Amino acid sequence: MTKQFTVAIIGGGIGGLTLAAGLLKRNIPVTIYEAAPLFQEVGLGLSIGPAAHRALPLIEPALRRIYDSLITTHADSPGFERFRETWCEVVTPDDQVLMELKARPSGQTTVRRADFLDALVALIPPERAEFGKRLVRLVEGDEGVRLEFEDGTTAHADVVIGCDGIRSTVKRFVLSEEEHARATPRYSGMYGYRTVLDMPDMVAAVGEHRARVTTLYLGKGVYGVSYPIARAQQANVGLYVLRKEWEGEEWVRPAGKEDLRRDFAHLGGFVQGLVDHMPDSQQWAIFEHPSISTYARSRVAILGDAAHASTPHMGAGAGQAIEDAHVLVELLGDPRVMRARDVVAAFKAYDAVRRPRSQRVVTSSKEQADLLCLCLDGVGADEDKLRGAFEERLRWLWDGDVVGEVERDPVMLGFSSRQDERLELARTLGATHTVTTAAVADRGQSLADVVREVTGVWAPR
């Protein structure tokens, strides 16, 4: 049955298109408003962890097929099949392998952002997108939400979801004026250099093994990462520097080889090889999103970087947008959500479920930078503590159950109207802040049912 409300999605990046594909699959009328003249992505490679990988087919089965058809894995390099389930190897400043991190069953998977976006576009009927539509204002009234664009045109929708990035306009509507003033993107204390090397150049820089296997290069106050992309024909390289201050208003500034050499002179041969082979580059200031009090207001919500832009140090930014989309499509697709007024409660549930986990990713990702730069309190350069910290910090992210994982206190999950029974079930299932798929399935509940019980905000019609 077709829903009795329309959805406007602001922003046609990977988050917006993923959400649109899931909503269209559930017969929800959608229009995407994109500021650019065409769909486009900023950035090079994209990697998602196992939890987000599991979420893709739950949003729309074609999403997983598309992603898997484009991915690069370690097994794409002949002779490296044994690294199929490897996320990365971690290398010390003197080029010794500290550990190998596994991410079963998928391992490290990467795609070129542009390739993934182009494939997603095929899932969206052309009439569902409008281009050159830069949003400047939202006005909510009794008849829905009016969208006002920079070109002077307007549009109307019953529901609006902002997928418009870290400088989101939709966020301005969701938050109070005072909170929005405090929620502007902030410099995270780190900048980076990024490039793509053809695989022969990568092999010349670091050797065959290091070029073919995703690697984290630890260093005092700095770190690096490299991983194969484009079916192992190229490698994505990022080198990052802790620096408290960032001068100027621009987020990107020119940099030369002398800057790279100065920043990474104290690291070993692998990183020196990368520096030698990297072209003159740019320094990219890395910004993050301060925690905000809500991801939704009335019939307007925000998703992905608009809600919780994170630093890249856990490789989780795109995955969190996918997890956002999963929860939203499950809730809006529920047969009990038929009218625009039902969406208000669904958005409250979305906020209650997604905000704790996604904000934890933002915090943890910033701490991950300190871990990689050998300056995390209580860990430093102690190799045993480093091994334990890597395992502990990544497992909760990777092993999170995209159907049942809920981080909420005090009641994690409940299917009884009696509060004492709900609390007892919470103590049983919520001790680790994880509810398994099996626990959900045993009770015959969908994710939407779980969310309603968890949040206690579902409004009966």
pLDDT digits 0-9 by tens, 45-57: 788 888 888 889 9
What's residue 322's pLDDT? 94
Is-contact 29 6, C-beta < 8 A? yes
DSSP label at 4? B
Contact at 8 Å (CB) between 224 and 277? Answer: no
The answer to whether 451 and 353 have CB atoms below 8 angstroms apart is yes
- pLDDT tens by residue, 65-100: 999 999 888 888 989 888 888 888 999 999 999 999
Q: Cα–Cα–Cα angle for 134, 56, 291, nearest 5°?
A: 55
* Per-residue model confidence (pLDDT) at position 280: 80
CA distances from 181 to 172, 175, 203, 306 (A): 9, 9, 47, 14
CB-CB contact of 344 with 461 (8 Å) = no
Q: Which pair of structure tokens corresponds to residue 78?
A: 């002949």
**pLDDT digits 0-9 by tens, 314-362:** 888 889 999 999 999 999 998 889 999 999 999 998 998 899 989 999 9
Domains in the chain (CATH in brackets) are 7-71+113-186+289-372 (3.50.50.60)
> For the chain, what is the total number of helices (H) and then of strands (E)?
17, 19
CB 74 within 8 A of CB 107: yes
Predicted pLDDT at 422: 36
Per DSSP, the three-state class of 452 is: helix
Q: Measuring CA to CA, how many Å separate 345 from each of 149, 215, 268, 293, 339?
A: 28, 44, 54, 16, 11
Chain position carrying tokens 């269209």: 24
First to last CA, the chain: 18
Pair 128, 114: CB distance under 8 Å:
no
Per the listing, tokens 């899932």 go with 123
pLDDT of residue 203: 98
Number of Cβ within a 10 Å radius of residue 410: 9
Where in the sequence numbering do the catalytic residues fall? 194
Question: Distance between CA 104 and CA 113 in Å, rounded?
Answer: 23
Cis peptide before 105 (omega within 30 of 0): yes
Alpha helices in 337-382 (DSSP H): 340-372
- Asked if 262 contacts 283 with a C-beta cutoff of 8 angstroms, the reply is no
Q: Positive or negative, the Cα torsion across 434, 440, 446, 450?
A: negative
pLDDT value of residue 446:
56
Residues in the chain: 461
Quote the pLDDT of residue 450: 53
Torsion angles phi and psi, residue 332, rounded to 5: -70, -25
Residue ranges for the chain with pLDDT beneath 50: 405-444, 454-461
